[in-house]
Amino acid sequence: MTGTTLDDYTDRYARRVRGMTASEIRALFAVASRPEVVSLAGGAPYIAALPLDAVGEMLGRLGSEHGTTTLQYGIGQGTLELRERICEVMSLSGIDAACGASPEDVVVTVGGQQALDLVARLFLDPGDVVLAEGPTYVGALGVFQAAQAQVVHVPMDADGLIPEALETAIADLARAGRRVKFLYTIPTYQNPAGVTLSEERRERVLDICERAGLLVIEDDPYGQLGFEGEAPAPLRARRREGVFYLSTFSKTFAPGLRVGWILAPHAVRDKLVIASEAQILCPSGFAQAAVATYLGTMPWRQQLKVYREVYRERRDALLDALADLMPEGTSWTTPAGGLFVWATLPEGLDSKAMMPRAIAARVAYVPGTGFYADGTGTDAMRLNFSFPPPERIREGVRRLAGVMEQEIATRRVFGAVGGAAGRRGRPGSDVPGPDLA
């Protein structure tokens, strides 16, 4: 016997379970939620900015006056009323009837996470390859891992995913006989890097994928949270065939309701509904009614402006604190929207190894390793600015900078210990990432 386990069911699990690992972010929640810890880790929106009294009254009426319908089973695709409202929301970004957006092709999901899972269930076989930006959303990595697919990262810079690197990755994988199913991308205010794919690159990326016969899975939770003018039009506003558009109300209304959606090519819609029904029968009728009523009766466009102002102030507080307090050799992105800044550490520091000392100093972040399928990214961290107030953000950076200074001093005395093997290119810099072969 070579070892023991506390899990008596180890030999009974399906093969797809064997590679499952805990999310870097979820593992931090218990610690980061302590009141004495300044959390720059999670991606929680600032719900207190909502008119909570009015929202509470609305929810009460949905239960007391419409409970016989809102608390009942519904249809797998989602209510027509909500799907029509979703089309109104998408039209603000240029995804409208002129480019083929229709309530008939919208599938309501339990947050954006179920949308990702449905796409993976429909298109990924074990051993398939998914191309994704490096770094990318940790929740997507978990979905693709559960589908037994391999993620190959494509590097970014300040203008988002690099088209030439995408072409190289596709060619290298084709020569190796690997089957690439789709490109997964967060082109606008990317999580975790905060960068935005430029206007010119959006067309090039779409052309590359079209020539290669790749589907494009566009994840757009943050597109309406821009601080500096209008974001570039989504990929789905430019091409209707082969582009799946995923979004959620978690960042623009309330994550606790768990309401998202997919806008899919018409031919795929029925299969998405069947797959969703197999998972959940139907999305929550109450949650759907809450979102539809909010969109139909409350000034949600004005609320978006409130969120933008709150997050702009907090982004500026984070960027100012980083500029004032971070040790030499640290760099970071400057997001034009969204919730996150990606920071790259001075040479030799390891964000994952440093985490326990940061928690001891009462500050939390997410190590960069959580956003790469291969465990690299030790030289980086994701910093969230949406939840803490500006003064807490600055205090968190002060604590974090102190931890980093101690790490640098220790390294000077004892020398480097690990870290170099996990380095990656820096989004927002001119440092390229590694070859993708």
Give the pLDDT confidence of 154-175 residue by residue, as tens digits: 999 999 999 999 999 999 999 9
Residue 147, pLDDT above cutoff 70: yes
Mean pLDDT value of segment 222-249: 95
Amino acid identity, position 331: S
Looking at residue 431, what is its pLDDT? 36
Residues 158 and 427: beta-carbon distance below 8 Å: yes
**Band of pLDDT at residue 426, cut at 50, 70 and 90:** low
Instruction: Return the minimum-mean-pLDDT range out of 119-123, 253-257, 416-420.
Output: 416-420
Instruction: Return the minimum-mean-pLDDT range out of 3-7, 227-231, 351-355.
Output: 3-7
Tokens standing for residue 8 = 């008596």
Give the pLDDT confidence of 401-416 residue by residue, as tens digits: 999 999 999 888 876 5
List, by residue range, all CATH 3.90.1150.10 domains of the chain. 17-50+302-413
Residue 240 or residue 186, greater confidence: 186
Looking at residue 13, what is its pLDDT? 78
Looking at residue 7, what is its pLDDT? 77
List, by residue range, all CATH 3.40.640.10 domains of the chain. 67-297
| 331: enclosing H helix or E strand | strand 331-332
Residue 263, pLDDT above cutoff 60: yes
First to last CA, the chain: 38
Looking at residue 430, what is its pLDDT? 38
> How many helices and strands, by DSSP H and E, does the chain display?
13, 14
Looking at residue 10, what is its pLDDT? 73
Give the pLDDT confidence of 22-44 residue by residue, as tens digits: 665 666 666 666 788 999 998 89
Kindly indicate whether the domain formed by 17-50+302-413 is annotated with CATH number 3.20.20.70. no
Looking at residue 411, what is its pLDDT? 85
CATH code: domain 67-297 is 3.40.640.10
- The three-class DSSP label of residue 88 is helix
Looking at residue 214, what is its pLDDT? 97
Averaged pLDDT score across all residues of the chain: 91
Q: Return the percent helix, strand and coil in the chain, to nearest 5.
A: 45, 15, 40
Residue 195 or residue 410, greater confidence: 195
Residues 23 and 138: beta-carbon distance below 8 Å: yes
Instruction: Return the minimum-mean-pLDDT range out of 76-85, 141-150, 335-344, 424-433.
Output: 424-433
Looking at residue 434, what is its pLDDT? 31
As a whole number of angstroms, the distance between CA 286 and CA 314 comes to 33
Residue 5 or residue 386, greater confidence: 386
| 215: enclosing H helix or E strand | strand 215-219
Residue 74, pLDDT above cutoff 70: yes
Looking at residue 131, what is its pLDDT? 98
- Percentage with pLDDT > 90 across the chain: 83
Looking at residue 9, what is its pLDDT? 79
Looking at residue 396, what is its pLDDT? 98
